[in-house]
């Protein structure tokens, strides 16, 4: 079987994009029609959606149109600066915590155990305040990245930019549970998770995509694909 290459305008082997198992469900004509209608989409990506939909061409077209309507999400230095401002309270508590713990170490080194314990207690208090501040900041960032107007237009799109790994996992767990209860099992629905590519992270290496992927597989037992760089697609 073959599929239309939208760039070369010719037929190419379908086996290049899908396994022999997938070829029993989808065919070259279906992919050719999709490639002609959605020239900006990778053939492999369309084949994955078509296969997940058991070869249902109309449902696949509907899902691809949904994906096509998703806007490019703003990231970069300006957004990173905003995140830093929203986490300033947490960072201030972290600095105070570290300072008290260092002072406690020094007090312990000179044998002043009482003072060391007092300083540890102060540092521990700031540590708890830091955790609370990060939790509040994470929710504020998520709401800012996913405002009501955006959720109304794209109810199954979750933008996780600006979140720490543990924060993102908790939010994904919560939001997936809500979406699963909202959409019946008889109705296929796709969910998009924007996890980023790491281009604007401090290290240039994104921890979030691999952590979310691992969570989806090991905890939610959900199959997913990469709809586009930095965006995961789940079909329920």
- Residue 6 pLDDT > 90, yes or no? no
Burial call 143-164: b when 16+ CB within 10 Å, e when fewer: eebbeeeeeeebebbbbbbbbb
- Residue 9 pLDDT > 80, yes or no? no
Rg (the chain; Cα; Å): 24
Pair of tokens at residue 30:
């279906």
Instruction: Render pLDDT for 73-109 as a digit per residue (tens, 0 to 9).
Output: 877 776 788 888 999 999 999 999 999 999 999 999 9
The answer for residues whose C-beta is within 8 angstroms of residue 75's C-beta and 6 or more apart is 161, 196, 199, 200
The model's pTM: 0.80
Average pLDDT, stretch 39-65?
A: 90
Average pLDDT, stretch 22-28?
A: 63
What pLDDT sits at residue 83?
Answer: 86
Residue with the larger pLDDT of the pair 143 and 10: 143
Q: How far apart are CA 224 and CA 193, in angstroms?
A: 10
Query: How many Å separate Cα 63 from the centre of its chain?
Result: 19
Average pLDDT, stretch 157-169?
A: 95
Cα 229 to Cα 42, 196, 199, 232: the distances in Å are 12, 8, 11, 8
Q: Are 62 and 52 in contact (CB under 8 A)?
A: no
Q: How far apart are CA 101 and CA 128, in angstroms?
A: 14
Residue 218 confidence class, pLDDT cut points 50, 70, 90: very high
Instruction: Render pLDDT for 119-136 as a digit per residue (tens, 0 to 9).
Output: 999 999 999 999 999 999
């Amino acid at each position: 079987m073959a599929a239309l290459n939208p760039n070369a305008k010719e037929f190419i082997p379908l086996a290049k994009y899908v396994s022999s198992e997938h070829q029993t469900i989808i065919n070259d004509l279906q992919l050719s029609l999709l490639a002609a209608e959605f020239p900006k989409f990778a053939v492999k990506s369309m084949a994955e959606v078509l296969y997940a939909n058991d070869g249902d061409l109309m449902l696949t077209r509907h899902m691809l149109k949904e994906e096509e309507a998703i806007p490019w999400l703003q990231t970069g230095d300006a957004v990173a600066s905003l995140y830093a401002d929203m986490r300033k309270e947490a960072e201030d508590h972290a600095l105070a915590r570290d300072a008290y713990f260092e002072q406690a170490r020094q007090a312990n080194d000179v044998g002043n155990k009482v003072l060391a314990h007092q300083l540890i207690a102060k540092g521990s208090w700031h540590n708890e305040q830091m955790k609370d501040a990060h939790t509040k900041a994470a929710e504020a960032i998520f709401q800012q990245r996913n405002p009501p107007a955006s959720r109304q237009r794209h109810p199954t799109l979750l933008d996780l930019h600006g979140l720490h790994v543990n924060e993102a996992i908790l939010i994904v767990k919560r939001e997936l549970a809500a979406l699963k209860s909202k959409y019946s099992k008889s109705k296929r629905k796709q969910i998009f998770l924007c996890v980023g590519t790491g281009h604007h992270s401090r290290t240039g290496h994104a921890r979030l995509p691999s952590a979310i992927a691992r969570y989806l597989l090991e905890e939610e037992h959900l199959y997913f694909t990469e709809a586009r760089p930095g965006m995961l697609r789940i079909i329920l």
